[in-house]
């Protein structure tokens, strides 16, 4: 037939031989022996971590970090090599580290690492020279020093540079926070939290892979996947010990309960949820039952209202930026809290929970709050804002 050309079997063989260094005849790329060897070394290293076998770990290379993570209860630990750059007897590997904490992580935490290896002579195997967080990736607690572990009834606390007594204090606070959150939030959640307590603000920023200036004055943050369900890894509550240490007893409890609320509501929080709602709800749970009046818990807004400066609108997401002006940030949290307090007061706590879930049921911001206000509260956003402004005048004036 015209337009078709027959290729002999010998031509096919020659073509395969020509391309063998790039592509196998079956269409599969040929294996990189160095990458395979590096993967095998890291597989043995992972098995040593799970087996608590320091000698086996040391046979794969440096054992400098092994003792740092010995107390951490891992249910899983594995590496996946994604790329290798070899230069003579050294190789640098891009690696995914995946691990789970026993009893706390329903899915693996994945973090990017850079691993440098060296070959022990021309016929020797590869061994790890160092293993570090990849560029722009956060460190892990054991990268910063020996990890102490304290278990609570509902909590697992990992600390570096902290005494066992101090970590026990965090576990006690978390153990009070979990039932307090469950009493307020009627959604399903694991009812357990992981708390990381680094040595300093700088160490906290290192865990988050961000500049320390982003978290100065922030007592704690919660990391996790919004909208996460049963296969998502557990959230981490990461404490800024510098700012947290300045709080009184009530303030410390409010902060841990606030952050625990983020853990509980994570599956119903997504891109549709404005920060005034997610942060305001967490503060509402944190202050619930504390006896604090609106004027005591919202001094910035109370001062503004007393001077006749009632906000025109609910706080925007930009108002919650960690780098924002401190007074603006404080008023944003206070405004969100008072919006949620108003819903609980005027519509009831069950309706507040239902409103939160209804907003999070949307997959994007546009229309989410409007639809939820109409369906759950029976009010328009404009009328809600006016009612909120009047609520500020009444409760703070």
Would you state the pLDDT for residue 28?
A: 42
Taking phi over 0 as left and psi of -120 to 50 as alpha, with beta for the rest, 106 belongs to alpha
- pLDDT over 80 at 372, yes or no: yes
pLDDT single digits (tens) 264-296: 999 999 999 999 999 999 999 999 999 999 999
Stretch 15-38: mean pLDDT = 56
- Token code pair at residue 145: 């020093």
Residue 55: what pLDDT? 97
Please name every residue paired with 77 in a beta bridge, in sequence order, or none if there are none: 99
Residue 326 confidence (pLDDT): 84
Query: What is the per-residue pLDDT for 124?
Result: 82
**Average pLDDT, rounded, for the chain:** 90
Q: What is the per-residue DSSP string for 75-101?
A: EEEEEEEEEEEEETTEEEEEEEEEEEE
- With a pLDDT cut of 70, the percent of the chain lying above it is 89
For 152-203, list the strands marked E by DSSP.
Answer: 155-160, 193-197
Checking if the pLDDT of 62 tops 60, the result is yes
CA proximity to 41, closest of 141, 129, 123: 129
Question: What pLDDT, on the 0 to 100 scale, is given for residue 229?
Answer: 54
Q: pLDDT tens digits, residue range 336-348?
A: 999 999 999 999 9
Position 325 scores a pLDDT of 79
Which region among 238-247, 251-260, 323-332, 345-354 has the lowest average model confidence (pLDDT)? 323-332
Contacts of 148 (CB under 8 A, 6+ apart): 71, 158, 159, 160, 162, 163, 164, 167
pLDDT at residue 9, as a whole number: 41
* pLDDT surpassing 50 at residue 312: yes
For the chain, domains (ranges, CATH) are 33-137 (3.10.450.50), 139-263 (3.30.2010.30), 270-397 (1.10.390)
Beta-sheet pairing, 236-239 with 193-197: parallel
Query: Alpha-carbon distance 281 to 299, whole Å?
Result: 18
pLDDT at 29: 47
Q: What is the DSSP letter of 117?
A: E
Q: Which two tokens stand for residue 143?
A: 């990268």
Q: Are 187 and 264 in contact (CB under 8 A)?
A: yes
Looking at the predicted structure, is the pLDDT value of residue 165 above 50?
A: yes
Task: Give CA–CA dist 70/51, Å, rounded.
Answer: 10
| pLDDT tens digits, 30-49 | 568 999 999 999 999 999 99
Residues comprising the chain, all counted = 397
Residue 115 has pLDDT above 90, yes or no: yes
For residue 29, give the DSSP letter. Answer: B
Residue 95 scores a pLDDT above 50: yes
Please check the confidence at residue 24 and state whether its pLDDT lies above 80.
no
Beta bridge partners of 104: none
d(CA 28, CA 276): 52
Cα–Cα distance between 331 and 308 in angstroms, integer? 15
Average pLDDT over residues 161-183: 98
pLDDT digits (tens, 9 = 90+) for 191-249: 999 999 999 999 999 999 999 988 988 999 999 876 655 556 679 999 999 999 999 99
Q: In this model, does residue 15 exceed pLDDT 50?
A: no
């Amino acid at each position: 037939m015209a337009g078709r050309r027959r290729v002999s079997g010998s031509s096919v063989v020659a073509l395969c031989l020509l391309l063998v260094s790039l592509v196998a005849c079956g269409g599969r790329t040929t294996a990189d022996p160095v990458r395979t060897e590096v993967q095998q070394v890291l597989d043995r290293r992972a098995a040593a971590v799970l087996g608590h076998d320091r000698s086996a770990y040391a046979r794969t290379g440096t054992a400098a970090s092994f003792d740092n993570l010995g107390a951490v209860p891992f249910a899983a630990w594995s590496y996946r090599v994604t790329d290798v750059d070899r230069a003579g007897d050294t190789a640098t590997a891009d690696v995914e580290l995946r691990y789970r904490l026993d009893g706390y992580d329903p899915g693996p935490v994945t973090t990017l690492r850079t691993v440098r290896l060296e070959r022990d002579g021309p016929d020797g195997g590869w061994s790890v020279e160092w293993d570090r967080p990849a560029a722009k990736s956060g460190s892990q607690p054991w990268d910063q020093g020996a990890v102490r572990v304290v278990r609570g009834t509902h909590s697992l606390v990992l600390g570096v540079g902290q005494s066992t007594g101090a970590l026990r204090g965090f576990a006690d606070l978390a153990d009070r926070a979990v039932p307090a959150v469950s009493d307020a939030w009627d959604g399903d959640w694991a009812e357990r939290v992981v708390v990381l307590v680094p040595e300093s603000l700088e160490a906290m920023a290192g865990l988050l892979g961000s500049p320390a200036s982003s978290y100065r004055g922030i007592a704690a943050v919660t990391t996790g996947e919004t909208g996460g369900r049963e296969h998502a890894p557990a959230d981490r509550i990461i404490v800024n010990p510098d700012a947290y240490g300045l709080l009184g007893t009530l303030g410390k409890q409010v902060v841990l309960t606030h952050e625990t609320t983020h853990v509980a509501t994570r599956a119903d929080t997504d891109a549709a949820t404005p920060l005034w709602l997610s942060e305001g709800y967490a503060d509402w749970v944190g202050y619930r039952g504390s006896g604090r009046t609106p004027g005591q818990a919202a001094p910035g807004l109370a001062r503004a209202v007393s001077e006749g400066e009632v906000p025109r609108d609910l706080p925007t997401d930009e108002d919650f930026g960690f780098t924002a002006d401190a007074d603006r940030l404080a008023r944003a949290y206070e405004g969100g809290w008072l919006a949620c307090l108003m819903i609980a007061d005027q519509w009831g706590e069950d309706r507040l929970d239902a409103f939160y879930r209804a907003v999070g049921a949307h997959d994007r911001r546009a229309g989410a709050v409007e639809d939820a206000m109409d369906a759950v509260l029976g009010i328009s956003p404009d009328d809600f804002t006016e009612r909120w402004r009047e609520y500020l005048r009444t409760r703070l004036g």
